[in-house]
Structure 1
Amino acid sequence: MTSSAWSIALLASTGLVLFLYAVSRLALSLRHLAGERVKSWLDRFTKSVPAAILTGTVVTTLLDSSSVVIILAIALVSAGALPFRNSLGVVLGANIGTTISSQLFAFDLGQYAVVAMLPGLLLLFFSKKRAGRASGRALFCFGLLFFSLFLIGEAAAPLKDYQGVQAWLLKLENPVRGAGAGALLTLLIQSSSATLGMVIKLAAKGLVTLPAGIAVMLGAELGTCSDTLLATIGRGRAALKTGLFHLGFNAISITLGLLLIQPFTALVLLVAGHADVARQIAHAHVLFNLAGVLLFAPLVPLCQRLLDAWLPDQAQPAPALAVKTA
């Protein structure tokens, strides 16, 4: 490997590591700030499917992680604090809320990251209150998120001169191959946001086409199911059913997306043909997840009945009767 190739690999790896750190710490800091309020929102504002979808969307936008919201919902279902049916709407809403990240990633904000990082660092160091330090950490990680994507974009820019890399990226236009690459990458790094962020930055540098970006996006949607399924282990059947609904929802949506990828790509071009490819991929993410939610929302009662029939709740053992002795 040449020295320039090593430089590209090191810069890209640095950007990816910083991105994964920023994503995890940002979600953790926001969860600390929200505290018990998130749980109360999930409990109070999920009485109907539309309300649950809206709540899932808002909470995911605030926490910047659909996985965190779905895992929280699974934990609440397991504890009996959130009915299983209501959790299905939260899952659908989380898939809408996660599209906000891709819209932000399409903006070239990396060079302005210090505007958020510096005040965040000052708050983190000098605030005496826990809430102030958590706010500073969240602000710093928010800026770090965009700075790390800037590093990835800068590392990717010289790849235009590597014909082998260009040829491999063009192969991702094959829907199955692109989706497979997106799913594998998301499984490895455990972050669909990181996968989408990298694809959007590669598209901004002219290295990824819209069809390839859509295919990788579809795969990333599938790969993100792994951590939510892991969160259901040992949590009972109600929690398992929530995780299975998330997997089924994504699997069916992605299958339909792959089958209809050509007309879907045409729709994206119709809606966002004036935008650059990076923005088109971000819009495709929004359109795809919105279409999936609109398709599944009316089917929530049916999905609940099917999952209840397949995995009925375990009956509670009857209390033992005390036997009186003479």
Structure 2
Amino acid sequence: MHPSLLSIALLALSGLVLFLYAVSRLALALRQVAGDRVKGILDRFTKTVPMAILTGTVVTILLDSSSVVIILTIALVSAGALPFRNSLGVVLGANIGTTISSQLFAFDLGQYAVVAMLPGLLLLSLSKKRKGRTMGRALFCFGLLFFSLFLIGEAAAPLKEYRGVEAWLLQLENPLRGAGAGALMTLVIQSSSATLGMVIKLAAKGLLTLPAGIAVMLGAELGTCSDTLLATAGRGRPALRTGLFHLLFNLICITLGLLLIMPFTALVLRLAGHADVARQIAHAHVLFNVAGVLVFAPLVPLCQHLLEAWLPDQRPLARLATTKG
């Protein structure tokens, strides 16, 4: 007897809730451990575009969240601690760094999650120092991340027996429909990592094809812009320019990705045809984001000038009054 769709949905939803909790707590713990150092690194190693891209990539890998890095960058730009031009390279680098998560998700590590969770729980419970407890929390949440994806995958496995669900998932091969589903899902759960994690797990269970996975991945890239745009609210023109650059970068890359989705899918198959579909989607994520950064990197000075012309710095009221007088 197959489990009901309700029981499948409840188990998958439980896994999703655990994943979102693990992501938020992991990002918070890593920020507590490395927050001040990250600010120093962003200020010191972002003087040139290549260095800013490299720094954004490394910091995103360490903090395991492109949104956290971009929001932190926006805050630093708003405070005047980071020049607007330096922030553009960091945003590009964050888009490369976030692809490491999808590579990790493609490994079936859920059954080994206790290897990280148990030491993390012991550190969290027994450590008398705050730093030790924070490290324990980070380790526990890192393991919980993979265990939650394992739950989602196990919940989704019986869906193969439901032809209606399988037929609906196949419809996501339509680029616009797949991208729309990915963007909507990411907007609702506020985590592109969760969207990609579910996509990779569905593909690993044979429920999602490579074209559908790529289409949903493109939509998730757009959905992730929402929280960074919210972070610009009330922070001044330089911070708003950084948030808009992130949005425009993703919009242009996604549009090109949708227009070229067939040759792009063929390229992924040519480069990673030997791998399973889950790994192919993870590779497609890396290839897409790296290609977008390579295209945009030489255009950073032009983007800077266009955004500064579009949204110039507001002059102080006192200076305006003097000018009028």
Q: Aligned residue for 2:289? A: 289
Contact 2:3 2:158 in 1 (8 A): no
1:119-158 equivalences under 5 Å are 119-158=119-158
2:218 is the counterpart of 1:218: yes
1: distance between equivalents of 2:226 and 2:35?
25
Q: Aligned residue for 1:237? A: 237
2:70 is the counterpart of 1:86: no
Contact 2:117 2:142 in 1 (8 A): yes
- 1:113 alignment partner AA: A
1: distance between equivalents of 2:107 and 2:167?
27
2: distance between equivalents of 1:107 and 1:37?
30
2: distance between equivalents of 1:35 and 1:130?
15
1: distance between equivalents of 2:14 and 2:288?
31
Shift of 1:6: 1.9
1: distance between equivalents of 2:37 and 2:49?
20
2:254 is the counterpart of 1:258: no
2: distance between equivalents of 1:38 and 1:295?
27
2:193 is the counterpart of 1:193: yes
Shift of 1:35: 2.4
Q: Aligned residue for 1:73? A: 73
- 1:56 alignment partner AA: G
TM-score by length of 1: 0.97
Shift of 1:85: 0.5
Note closer, same or farther for the CA distance 1:3–1:283 as it changes in structure 2 (3 Å cut): closer
2: distance between equivalents of 1:318 and 1:271?
60
Q: Aligned residue for 2:112? A: 112
Q: Aligned residue for 1:161? A: 161
Shift of 1:63: 0.3
Deviations 1:160-201 (A, max 9, x none): 000000000000000000000000000000000000000000
- 2:228 alignment partner AA: T
Note closer, same or farther for the CA distance 1:131–1:259 as it changes in structure 2 (3 Å cut): same
Shift of 1:144: 0.2
Note closer, same or farther for the CA distance 1:320–1:249 as it changes in structure 2 (3 Å cut): closer
1: distance between equivalents of 2:182 and 2:320?
53
- 1:59 alignment partner AA: V
Shift of 1:316: 2.8
Q: Aligned residue for 1:304? A: 304
1: distance between equivalents of 2:319 and 2:75?
26
Percent identity over the alignment is: 85
| More moved, 100-109 vs 307-316 | 307-316
Q: Which runs of 5+ in 2 are unaligned?
A: none
2:246 is the counterpart of 1:246: yes
2:13 is the counterpart of 1:13: yes
Shift of 1:315: 1.6
- 1:95 alignment partner AA: N
2: distance between equivalents of 1:266 and 1:107?
23
Note closer, same or farther for the CA distance 1:317–1:206 as it changes in structure 2 (3 Å cut): same
2:43 is the counterpart of 1:43: yes
Shift of 1:252: 0.1
Shift of 1:220: 0.0
| Structure 1 consecutive aligned stretches of length 4 or more whose deviation exceeds 3 Å | 317-321
Q: Aligned residue for 1:171? A: 171
TM-score by length of 2: 0.97
| More moved, 311-320 vs 182-191 | 311-320
- 1:228 alignment partner AA: T
Q: Aligned residue for 1:324? A: none
Shift of 1:3: 6.0
Shift of 1:320: 11
- 2:113 alignment partner AA: A
Deviations 1:77-132 (A, max 9, x none): 00000000000000000000000000000000000000000000000000011110
2: distance between equivalents of 1:221 and 1:319?
41
Deviations 1:13-48 (A, max 9, x none): 100000000000000000001020000000000001
Q: Aligned residue for 1:98? A: 98
2:180 is the counterpart of 1:180: yes
2: distance between equivalents of 1:208 and 1:269?
15
- 2:220 alignment partner AA: A
Q: Which runs of 5+ in 1 are unaligned?
A: 322-326
2: distance between equivalents of 1:192 and 1:303?
25
Aligned length: 320
Q: Report the secondary structure of 2:4's partner residue.
A: helix
1: distance between equivalents of 2:74 and 2:135?
26
1: distance between equivalents of 2:121 and 2:139?
8
Q: Report the secondary structure of 1:35's partner residue.
A: helix
RMSD: 1.3
